[in-house]
Copies of this chain bind each other. A is one copy, B any other.
């Protein structure tokens, strides 16, 4: 399946095909110097397979985790390109999850003021979310994605065979972003999640998510308005993520963050979908900490924060809500409630 992302002279294609990583050299222009960036948690044969298809590959492996999204690691990438005599005609290719894509993309964005970037995401989250949109960044002083660029890739390969080595928890967490795309933009995609086992049509789910995201990004490349709909689930989600201090995956927090932004009937349907994915529908964090983190994250102006609401699958609306309103909504997922699966925050094991 091929998805054209229409952004004028920055247009490109996303190719979704099981096994396409082994054909990267046919699908992307790798006939040059290519810095292949991966991390130590990605099976090294993926980067090796891509490197084998480049004329002059140089594989750069960063440590696993968010810590690699730093100016210090960025500098090491840039110096490596300099040492290898990279010119404007050369390229960077990310092989890995969101951390690798964000870091490598930013290195491509600022080396010689921008060289070609290819992205081969190998996690569900990176495949459905960060592979389309052109957002690249590193973190600074504990603030995520504060330094970066909009730099569209020249091409993206989605090889769903790479997901076979992923822990089930990571697959589910990644699919939370696909559920999000269904809720805000594509009722049929949400119906796929309600219809049965998502794992049996993973390719269709990923493709539909990307198609909807590409549509939003094409309409608002630099996040001046519409694109903010992609923040659905993220206002409360970011608050939960901060308060959980690493115990929850990003997608799990988005799952929890979406629930209070739906009316009761839709919330019940969403809970059923999340439960089938083994995603949490409640957690036992301190509501006031979550609220404080959510308010801080949004830098509330004039006492209200902006949020995205979904009343029916396939549509959304923006709303300004007071801290009190937000507190009430947070309580919907944080209340200790025996009827809901709550996440044991003191443990990494979220599966029952």
Task: Return the chain B residue nearest A112 by Cβ.
Answer: B146
A149-B109 contact, Cβ under 8 Å, with A79-B140, A140-B79, A141-B82: yes
Query: For window 94-144 of chain A, which residues contact chain B by CB distance below 8 Å?
Result: 106, 109-114, 135-137, 140-141, 143
Other-chain contact of A147, B78, B140, B146, B299 (Cβ < 8 Å): B78
This chain: copies in complex = 2
A192 at the interface (CB under 8 A from B): no
Closest chain-B Cβ to A1's Cβ sits at a distance in Å of 29
Closest chain-B Cβ to A93's Cβ sits at a distance in Å of 19
Contact with B along A62-89 (1 / 0, CB 8 A): 0000000001001100110011010100
A150 at the interface (CB under 8 A from B): yes
Judged by DSSP, the binding face of A is mixed
Q: CB distance B71 to A146 under 8 Å?
A: no
Chain B residues near A150 (CB-CB < 8 A): 113-114
Closest chain-B Cβ to A321's Cβ sits at a distance in Å of 19
Task: Return the chain B residue nearest A301 by Cβ.
Answer: B87
A149-B149 contact, Cβ under 8 Å, with A75-B140, A87-B299, A141-B82: yes
CA distance A217 to B82 in the complex (A): 27
A340 at the interface (CB under 8 A from B): no
Would you list 27 pairs from A and B whose C-beta atoms are within 8 A, ordered by A residue? A71-B75, A75-B140, A78-B146, A78-B147, A79-B140, A79-B141, A82-B143, A82-B146, A83-B141, A85-B299, A87-B299, A106-B110, A110-B110, A110-B147, A110-B148, A110-B149, A111-B146, A112-B148, A113-B135, A113-B136, A113-B137, A113-B145, A113-B148, A113-B150, A113-B222, A114-B150, A114-B222
